[in-house]
Amino acid sequence: MTEKTSVPASRAPDAAARSAFAAALAREPGVHDPVVVAALARVPRRLLMPRLFAPVSSERPLRRWRLVDFADEPEQHLAVCYGMDQVVVQLDCRPPGPLLAGREYVGVPTGQSSGAGLLAVTLQDISLGPGDRFLEIGACTGYLSAAAAELTGRQATGVEIDRELVRDAVPRLAAIGANVRLMVRDGLRGLPEGEWDAIAGSFAVRRIPATWLHRLTPGGRLRTTLTTGAPGWHATALVHRDEAGALSGRLAGELWGHVPDRVGGWIPLTNAPVGTGRSRSAVLVPPAPVERGFWAALGHTLPGVRRHWDAPGFDDEVVLAAADGSWAAVAQDGTRAVEWGPRNLWREAEEIHARWTAAGRPVEYRLEFSDGVQRAVGGPGLSWEIAAT
Ligand SMILES: C[S@@+](CC[C@H](N)C(=O)[O-])C[C@H]1O[C@@H](n2cnc3c(N)ncnc32)[C@H](O)[C@@H]1O
């Protein structure tokens, strides 16, 4: 795949940035397959996202952006485009076309090419081989699909709910010679005809849609992010259909994953509690975020509960919040927990922790599929049905 048929890859304006990208990507956690790295680096990413939103500050959540056009600011553009973070191409579902390059904008990303490490791990997990029929659900710029087509040597298919994103992406994919068919479709409501050897869900779902599973051919692999709507408590579902047609899989807690689908979104935060709350001392020390197996189990077994990552006034505490207004603020060293509202959220978390510990502190869960029910099983006393909350 070349930048333009007349420009040798080594002389393309992004040649140096692309080779630095490949080197950095190979060092990302979990990335181990040089064939996958090479496929991602071969796709001239900058031509798929000639205008992008660069974060103005690193304060999270990222909300302030500057629209950077390669034509005006090539160095700044390449630094973001070939960095390891997600590359934002759309804010608040608005097409970026009429916006002025160089200006600052405030908004929530609604179209982004995911972090390069996540894309590489995705391609590794679904182990694409020559001739595989690949489907991406939530394809955005088509970058992952273009790399998948490189790996399979066959046309890849992507579906994307946003008409504007597809309108922008289709001619760009054609211009770089990517063998990708991109179509506008709500991937939660139906998929293009056909069976697929590999499916990548590029947005997070509450439960794996039955149609995704039905369309997986014997021997097929599916990867998607599962979320309960709680930011930071993602889980990756990897599913395999064996030659006899039976489904099995695993669910692994993750720190990072895809953003939720456009309708599901995150669990909304409730207002800070008033009053002094109910205080307890010597409580469970909040497990670090890297205890991903615990936090994934907590999210699923306490649906509607999320962590408030930057609750004003609670800088030194871990804060949990639930939709009914219940809050818990827990000292990092476990010396004290304060709970407000109808539920004792940290008490509930301690019970889940006891069950998780008794089950052997799993990082991963077995996924079982039977009669339309999806279950995660972590060991004795720790399993749950994955429900479409
Ligand atoms: C993280 S982006 C995918 C990035 C892509 N892998 C790339 O490299 O450019 C997720 C995309 O999923 C799309 N999406 C969200 N909900 C969807 C749905 N129900 N059906 C199809 N696409 C959806 C969003 O519009 C967004 O463009």
Residue 24 burial (C-beta neighbours within 10 Å; 0-12, 13-18, 19+): middle
For the chain, report the end-to-end CA distance as a whole number of angstroms.
Answer: 42
Give the three-state DSSP class for 160.
strand
Atom of ligand 1 nearest to the CA of 90: 27
In a domain, 304, yes or no: yes
In a domain, 341, yes or no: yes
Ligand 1 pocket member 261 (CB < 6 A): yes
In a domain, 298, yes or no: yes
pLDDT of residue 300: 94
- DSSP codes of every residue in 171-232: HHHHHTT--EEEEE--TTT---SS-EEEEEE-SBBSS--HHHHHTEEEEEEEEEEE--S-TT
371 CA → ligand 1 middle, Å: 29
- In total, how many domains does the chain have? 1
In a domain, 273, yes or no: no
The per-residue pLDDT for range 148-185, each reduced to its tens digit, is 999 999 999 999 999 999 999 999 999 999 999 999 99
pLDDT of residue 1: 65
In a domain, 3, yes or no: no
Whether residue 6 has pLDDT greater than 50 = no
Q: Which domain holds residue 307?
A: 278-358
Ligand 1 pocket member 161 (CB < 6 A): yes
**217 is written with which tokens?**
């051919």
In order of 60, 230, 247, 356, 384, the CA distances from 135 in angstroms are: 32, 27, 18, 35, 28
Atom of ligand 1 nearest to the CA of 122: 6
pLDDT of residue 389: 64
270 CA → ligand 1 middle, Å: 27
Whether residue 4 has pLDDT greater than 50 = no
How sure is the predictor about 258, in pLDDT bands with cuts at 50, 70 and 90? confident
pLDDT of residue 265: 83
**354 is written with which tokens?**
């006891």
pLDDT of residue 185: 96
- List the beta strands (DSSP E) in 230-316: 234-241, 247-254, 278-281, 305-308
Q: What is the mean pLDDT of the chain?
A: 93
In a domain, 317, yes or no: yes
Q: State the Cα–Cα distance between residues 298 and 306, nearest whole angstrom.
A: 9
Q: State the Cα–Cα distance between residues 157 and 165, nearest whole angstrom.
A: 15
Q: State the Cα–Cα distance between residues 221 and 241, nearest whole angstrom.
A: 7
Ligand 1 pocket member 205 (CB < 6 A): no
The CATH number for 317's domain is: 3.30.310
In a domain, 321, yes or no: yes
Ligand 1 pocket member 144 (CB < 6 A): yes
The per-residue pLDDT for range 13-48, each reduced to its tens digit, is 889 999 999 999 999 999 999 999 999 999 999 999
In a domain, 82, yes or no: no
